[in-house]
Chains A and B, each alone.
Chain A
Amino acid sequence: MAALINVPSKARRGEIIEIRTLTSHIMETGFRHTADGTLVPRDIITGFVCRYNGAEIFRADLFPAIAANPYLSFFTVAKESGKFEFEWIGDNGYSSTASASITVG
């Protein structure tokens, strides 16, 4: 399971809709040590972007204090039918994408 997305499949034009995303990630803080004292290297998601028909509508920066499997929920206005694209980037070249369609009537 890479990411879970919840976008309403249908909405009225002008309706405020909630978008939920959840992605599986360890979110290792970089502050922990193993039993033998070695630092566990940081491995987190650092950024998230959501685009609606190509236009960025939401962006978030993530930090070590954020727990594993980051869950983000936000709202937007349903303007037109089309596609939401989601992208997560992070340490060690981490990158993950997902998308969901909406019909606006």
Chain B
Amino acid sequence: MNAPVTRRNAILGIAVAATSLAAPSILRAQSAGRVVVVGGGFGGAACARALKRADAKLQVTLIEPSKTFISCPFSNEVIAGLREIEAQQFGYDKLAAESISIVIQAATVIDTQMRRVTTGDGTTFGYDRLVLSPGIDFHLEALPGYDDAAAEKMPHAWKAGAQTLLLRRQLEAMEDGGTVAIAIPANPSRCPPAPYERASLIAHYLKSRKPRSKVLILDAKDAFSQQRLFETAWKELYGEMIERIALSQGGRVTSVDPTTRTIVTEFGNYTPDVANVIPPQRAGRLAGIAGVADATGWCPIDPVTFESKLVPNVHVVGDACLGGGIPKSASAASAQGKACAAAIVALLAGRAPDTPLLAGICYNIVAPGYGFSLTGNYQPRGDIFAEVEGGTTSPADAPRELRVREAAEAERWFETITADTFG
């Protein structure tokens, strides 16, 4: 139990927990714990599974409003017509088969005093420990003009599903010579490199089908993740097709007008043929219900246990938490879910939790057969996670074979993480 934490046992949160069985008597004595997990994405589902695998006696309930999960990773390929949405869909049958109670309902009330969660149908679930994996919501006050109705005309496609397909249909309906604008918010946001991957794959679609068209990026950032790799690839694959107006060139979007499909930046107005507006973000709705988000809109946590700094016995994993250096990605959410599960098993057994070392990986596909990646390792430092040694980024100058190989690795990564979470 006091063995040094290796990267391996942190990636496999289950392994951390499994070593905890070294104190079986204590565990058995207190293992009638009830853990409710709300939110069945990569963070919540991974956590529920890791909890049950670490201690079969735990009562684990997963509450999630949709019976089908639709993955954001690889959804940019759906937008570009390279993949069908069905390949993004996953169910909870395998989790149910592992004796996790699956409740397909929205959590409507979270009473953190009485420690219970009420769902839309009025059922109440008591807990010893609650895990929230609320994902993101849009911070609409920060983008005047944008709301649910606007999203039907200017799709965000930042939650996979109907929005993904809407953006795809708009691209398909656009005439050759049109402009596709992508409005990108400042960080923190879900999967920071993904808007640039999206720009790349949309350019790929346009180049093959509507070659006189262009992609216009309106960006609230000056610099972005893996920028050199993206920009090199854009030049190589798409020439002048992608134009980017960065923050210091006036690219920050301040409002939209959906009736005219106008995007207003600090220094100009744009009326593209297709407007993909990715609004500024904050922690998902559940965070507000439970009172675990602070003034930043995100959830401060103890990075060792993922327990909220604002509400005891409530843990927050995934995009919603204030993770410091950890990017908001599926891979990070999964690692956090598992580490959180290990911490909860330890806490319920009256032991001090191990300090996690989390690993995250992010692949970007800029065209079929052209991918690159960034990996990072993160450890608690003070109140947040800090990046520690061992991270890598694909080399800027590399033979095309490496890009081909990384694109194939990305597909394997997706198969692995979805099988690990839902399969």
Contact check, A6 vs B248: say whether CB atoms are below 8 A apart.
no
Contact check, B248 vs A24: say whether CB atoms are below 8 A apart.
yes
Q: Does B144 contact A (CB under 8 A)?
A: no
0/1 interface trace, chain A 66-96, chain B, CB 8 Å (1 if under): 0011010000000000000000000000000
Contact check, B248 vs A20: say whether CB atoms are below 8 A apart.
no
Contact check, B267 vs A20: say whether CB atoms are below 8 A apart.
yes
Contact check, A6 vs B249: say whether CB atoms are below 8 A apart.
no
Shortest C-beta distance, B382 to chain A (Å), equals 26
| Residues in B neighbouring A22, C-beta threshold 8 A | 248, 250, 266-267
Number of interface residues of A (CB under 8 A): 10
Q: Does A17 contact B (CB under 8 A)?
A: no
| Residues in B neighbouring A4, C-beta threshold 8 A | 249-250, 266-267
Shortest C-beta distance, B286 to chain A (Å), equals 36
| Residues in B neighbouring A102, C-beta threshold 8 A | none
Which residues of chain B in 263-303 are interfacial with respect to chain A, using CB atoms and an 8 Å cutoff? 266-268
CA–CA, A54 to B250, complex, Å? 27
Contact check, A68 vs B267: say whether CB atoms are below 8 A apart.
no
0/1 interface trace, chain B 241-272, chain A, CB 8 Å (1 if under): 00000001110000000000000001110000
Shortest C-beta distance, B144 to chain A (Å), equals 14
| Residues in B neighbouring A24, C-beta threshold 8 A | 248
| Residues in B neighbouring A65, C-beta threshold 8 A | none
Which residues of chain A in 42-83 are interfacial with respect to chain B, using CB atoms and an 8 Å cutoff? 68-69, 71
Q: Does A5 contact B (CB under 8 A)?
A: yes
CA–CA, A4 to B248, complex, Å? 9
| Residues in B neighbouring A35, C-beta threshold 8 A | none
CA–CA, A4 to B268, complex, Å? 9
Most chain-A CB neighbours within 10 Å: which of B248, B250, B266, B268? B248
Q: Which residue of A lies closest to B248 (CB)?
A: A69
| Residues in B neighbouring A68, C-beta threshold 8 A | 248
| Residues in B neighbouring A20, C-beta threshold 8 A | 266-267
CA–CA, A5 to B266, complex, Å? 9
CA–CA, A5 to B250, complex, Å? 9
Q: Which residue of A lies closest to B266 (CB)?
A: A20
Shortest C-beta distance, B387 to chain A (Å), equals 23
| Residues in A neighbouring B250, C-beta threshold 8 A | 4, 6, 22
CA–CA, A20 to B250, complex, Å? 10
Q: Which residue of A lies closest to B264 (CB)?
A: A6
CA–CA, A69 to B268, complex, Å? 17
Which residues of chain A in 1-18 are interfacial with respect to chain B, using CB atoms and an 8 Å cutoff? 1, 4-6
Shortest C-beta distance, B246 to chain A (Å), equals 9
Shortest C-beta distance, A95 to chain B (Å), equals 20
Shortest C-beta distance, A90 to chain B (Å), equals 17
Q: Which residue of B lies closest to A1 (CB)?
A: B249
| Residues in A neighbouring B249, C-beta threshold 8 A | 1, 4
| Residues in B neighbouring A71, C-beta threshold 8 A | 248, 266
| Residues in B neighbouring A1, C-beta threshold 8 A | 249
| Residues in A neighbouring B268, C-beta threshold 8 A | 6
21 A-B pairs within 8 Å (CB atoms) are namely: A1-B249, A4-B249, A4-B250, A4-B266, A4-B267, A5-B267, A6-B250, A6-B266, A6-B267, A6-B268, A20-B266, A20-B267, A22-B248, A22-B250, A22-B266, A22-B267, A24-B248, A68-B248, A69-B248, A71-B248, A71-B266
Q: CB within 8 Å of B: which residues of A?
A: 1, 4-6, 20, 22, 24, 68-69, 71
Which 6 residue pairs are nearest across A and B when measured between Cβ atoms? A69-B248, A4-B267, A4-B250, A6-B267, A20-B266, A22-B250
Q: A4-B267, A22-B248 are in contact. List 5 more A-B contacts (CB 8 A).
A: A1-B249, A20-B266, A22-B266, A22-B267, A24-B248
